[in-house]
Amino acid sequence: MDVAINYTIERIAAITNGKVIQHNSPIEPSHILLDSRKLLFPQGTIFFSLSGSDYKGTFFIKDLYEKEVRCFVIDNTAIDLSPYPDATFILVGNVLHALHLLAIHHRSAITIPVIGITGSNGKTIVKEWLYQLLEGDFNIVRSPKSYNSQIGVPLSVLQMDKQNSLAIFEAGISKTGEMDKIEKIIQPTIGVFTNIGDAHSEGFETKNQKIKEKLTLFEHSSSLIFCIDNDEIRKEVNFLKEKNQQLQLFTWSRINTASLQISSIKKENNLSVITGTYRDKEIQIIIPFTDDASIENAITCWCVLLQMEIADRIITERILQLHPVEMRLELKNGINNCSIINDSYSADINSLKIALDFLQQQQQHKKQTVILSDILQSGKSGNELYGEVASLLKQKKIQRLIAIGPTLNLQQEKFSFLEEKYFYVTVDEFKTNFNSLHFKDETILLKGARIFEFEQIGQLLEQKVHQTILSINLNSIAHNLKQYQSLLKPSVKIMAMVKAFSYGSGSYEIANLLRFNNVDYLAVAYADEGVELRKAGIGLPIMVMNPEENTFNALVKYNLEPEIFSFSILLSLEKYLDSSGIQYFPVHIKLDTGMHRLGFEQSDITVLAAHLKNNNKIKVQSVFSHLVASDDKSRDGFTQKQAAIFLECCDELQGVLSYNILKHIANTSAISRHPYLHMDMVRLGIGLYGIDGNAAIQKKLKNVSTLTTTIAQVKNVRAGESVGYGCEAVLEKESTIATVRIGYADGYPRALSNGTGKMLVQNKLVPVVGNVCMDMTMLDITGMNCKEGHEVIVFGEQLPIQQIAKWCNTISYEIMTGVSQRVKRIYFEE
C-alpha cells in the first residue's frame, strides 16, 4: 500500500538514525512505498527497500529508478550508486527498523484516543465493526484490511493526521519479541483482547507464552477490555496489571462476575438477543447474526462502546445495523464476458488504493472500469479528497469511471482527463441508464459505501450461475509460492504449471497472480490453453507441453514455446518454420529418463545433438525431463539414476550449442526432497494449490480451493424406503435427507455413492445416501436442524481434498481437475 507522508529527506534521516549518502533529487517525498509493484506516484515516492528471506530490497531500485522514483532508503552499503545520478539515498542500519522509527515518531506527535486490538481471532471483524459503530461520532483512521504485521502496523499508523479524532489498529504476531516493537508503534490508550486460540501458535512454546506476548501491546494502555472466562488470560492480565497499575480493566463474562455480566443469549429468526447486567442495570442488544463468533465479537464491541460512555439507546440502534465484514476482494465472472471485482461494502481512500492494486493485477481485459460511490466522512475537503481519487485513477490508467453520489457529481471537473465518465446522483438513476452503458469485455471494480447498496449493481453485472461454487484464495497461492521460493537460490527460475485450467482453479486468474509474484515461466498442456492466456493479456513465456502440427500457426502467432519430444514433431516444426521464413523459434527439448511416456531417449541424443548443431530454425530454450517418483523415499535410487542420465544428455546437447540452455527436472516434490536437482529452473505444480507429499512442507502450505454447494430440499423419509437411482440405499430407520446441488456432472465422483463419501454440514460430517446423480447428491442429516439454502462444504480446509481422493481410491490431481467448468469460480484476495 502507498502511504502519504509529510517529512523532508533530512527529517527522515534524522528520525531513522540514517545518513544521507547522496542527495541529488530536489523532490521531497510525499508517499512511502514498500512494494515496487504498487507504485502510484513515482516522483513523490520514497522507497523503503525491505529485504525478504529470498530477495534483497535493493534489487528493485533499478526498475523503480527507470519509473522516475528518486528517493530510496537502503541498508546495503555495497550498492553502486553511479547508475542513479539524480537520486537521493538514505543509508540506515536496518530498513524495517527505520520504518518502525518513523512510525513511532509519527504516532508520538498525535494525541488522540487509540484503540489497539489483538487476539487469535476476530481482530479485523471487531476493528471494522467498531468503525461502523463509531464513525458517526469520530473522524476515524484504521488499519486497512488486515494490516496487522511488523510491516502493516507502521503503514497503518503513518496514515494518522491532525484531522483524525480516533484511531483503531489491529496487531498480529507470529513469535516472541514482535509485540514489543508493535506496542511502541501503536501506543494504544484503549486495549481490546478478543480471545486466544490455536491460530499462529507455531512460534510459541506454550499458550501462556502467546497470551503474555500479545498482552505486551497493553503495557502502557489506560484500559483493557477482555473476556474474563479464560483462566489463562485472566492470570496473565493480573500479572500485567501489576506492571501497569494505571490499567483499568473492563471485563465481560457468561459465568463470572464482570463489568458486563451476560445473562442470556437467545437465537431466533437470524437474530441474536443478548441480555446482560451493567452497573446493576439490565441492558440488551440485538444483532443480525446467530453464529458464536459473531456473538463474541459483538459483545466485545458492546464493551468498548460502554467503556467509552456511549448511550445505551445509541448502542442498541447501531449494533442492530451491523453488517458482515467483507474481508476479501472477490473476482467473479460477469455478463458479456466481463470480470467483476466486488468490494461494495466500504469506500475510503486507503481501501480504494488496495482495490485498484487488485484491479491492476487483472489483465484479461484491456478495458478497466471503476464504479465508485461518494467517499463518506474522510475528514478531507471535497477538493482534496476527489483530487486524490482522480490522481489514483489517472495513475492506474483507468479507462472509464461511473460515479454515483451527490458529492462526486459536484467534482466532475476533477475527472476531465477520462474519455469515458458518467455521473449519477443515486443507484436508481444508474439502474435506469444501465443498458445504455454497454458493459462488455472489461474488468469492473465495484467500490461503494454501504449506504449506497452497491449489491444491487453487483446483481445486475454478475453472471447468473447455479449455487455450487469453487472459491479460490489468491493469498494462499501467493503464500504457497513463497514457501517454495524460500527453498531456492535466487538464480533458480520457477516454471509454474497452469495446465488443465490451473488444476481446475482457473487459467488467467491464476496466471495473473503468478505474473504479479514474479514467476519466470508458465506451462500449459495444449496450445489453446496458451492462446487463451495470451488473449487475456498474459505476457510471460509459456511452454506448451503437447504441441500438434495443426497448432503450429497458433504457436507462432501467440509466441508460445512448444515442447519437442520426438524427431517427427521436430522435423514437422522445422518444415513449417522454413515455409514461413521463421528463424530461431524457441523450443524446449523433452528427454525420457525413465518415465517412458514422451521424450527423446538417451540413445537418441547423439543424433539429436548433430541435428541441433548450427540449426538456425530452432533455438533451444531449455532441456528437461520428468521424475517418476520424486516423492517416494524408497525410490530415491531411481530418482538419482534419472538425474544422472539427464545431466549426461544435457552435457552432450550443450556441447554442440553456441548459447546456454536452461536445465530443469525438479517437480513440486523434488523442490523440497532433492535440492541438488534445482539446477537452472524448477517446475512447480500442485504445491501451488496447497498439496505436497512432504509432510514438513504440507504443514507450511495453505488451503487454496473450497468447493461449496447448498441444500435444495430437506425431507423426512420413512424406514424401508429407498433413496436414489437403483434402489441401492434402503433406509433402516426414519431419516432426514438433504438433497444438495452437486453431482457427477459438476465433478463429484460417483465413486462416493452409498456412504463412501461425506460432506460437511454445520461442521459435522454427514454421509452420502444412495448413488450420486448427475446434478444432485443426497445426504443423511438425521438429527440436524438444516434448512433449504444452507451451505454444504464438499472439500476445503476442514475437509481436505486429499481425504476425498482417498475415499475415491484416486489422487488429489484427479479431484482438482475434475471440477466441472459449469461450477462457478470466485477468486478472492484477503
**Cα angle at 382 between 376 and 383, to 5 degrees?**
150
**600 with 641: CB under 8 angstroms?**
no
DSSP 419: S
Task: Give the Cα separation of 69 and 46 in Å (integer).
Answer: 7
Q: How far is CA 545 from CA 319, 588, 624, 811, in A?
A: 57, 9, 11, 21
Which residues are bridge partners to 792 per DSSP?
Answer: 709
Q: How far is CA 207 from CA 171, 213, 635, in A?
A: 18, 10, 41
Write the single-letter amino acid at 123.
Answer: K
**183 with 219: CB under 8 angstroms?**
yes
Q: Which residues are catalytic?
A: 499, 725
Reported as half-sphere exposure (CB side, CA atoms, 13 A), residue 52 has a value of 14
- Tell how strand 705-717 and strand 735-740 pair up: antiparallel
Task: Give the Cα separation of 668 and 495 in Å (integer).
Answer: 11
Task: Give the Cα separation of 156 and 148 in Å (integer).
Answer: 8
How is residue 429 written as a grid cell? 438513476
Cα 27 versus chain centre, distance: 35
Strand arrangement, sheet containing 88-91: 3-4, 31-33, 45-48, 71-74, 88-91, 19-23
**487 with 506: CB under 8 angstroms?**
no
Task: Give the Cα separation of 672 and 703 in Å (integer).
Answer: 19
Task: Give the Cα separation of 793 and 799 in Å (integer).
Answer: 8
DSSP class per residue in 445-507: EEE--GGG-THHHHHHHBPP--S-EEEEEHHHHHHHHHHHHTTS-TT-EEEEE-HHHHHTT-H
How is residue 176 written as a grid cell? 516472541
How is residue 727 written as a grid cell? 434402489
Closest CA to 283 of 250, 311, 255: 311
Which residues are bridge partners to 779 per DSSP?
Answer: 738, 768
Task: Give the Cα separation of 664 and 678 in Å (integer).
Answer: 7
Which residues are bridge partners to 764 per DSSP?
Answer: 761
**32 with 101: CB under 8 angstroms?**
no
How is residue 321 written as a grid cell? 445495523
Task: Give the Cα separation of 819 and 251 in Å (integer).
Answer: 48
**663 with 677: CB under 8 angstroms?**
no
**587 with 611: CB under 8 angstroms?**
no
**543 with 495: CB under 8 angstroms?**
yes
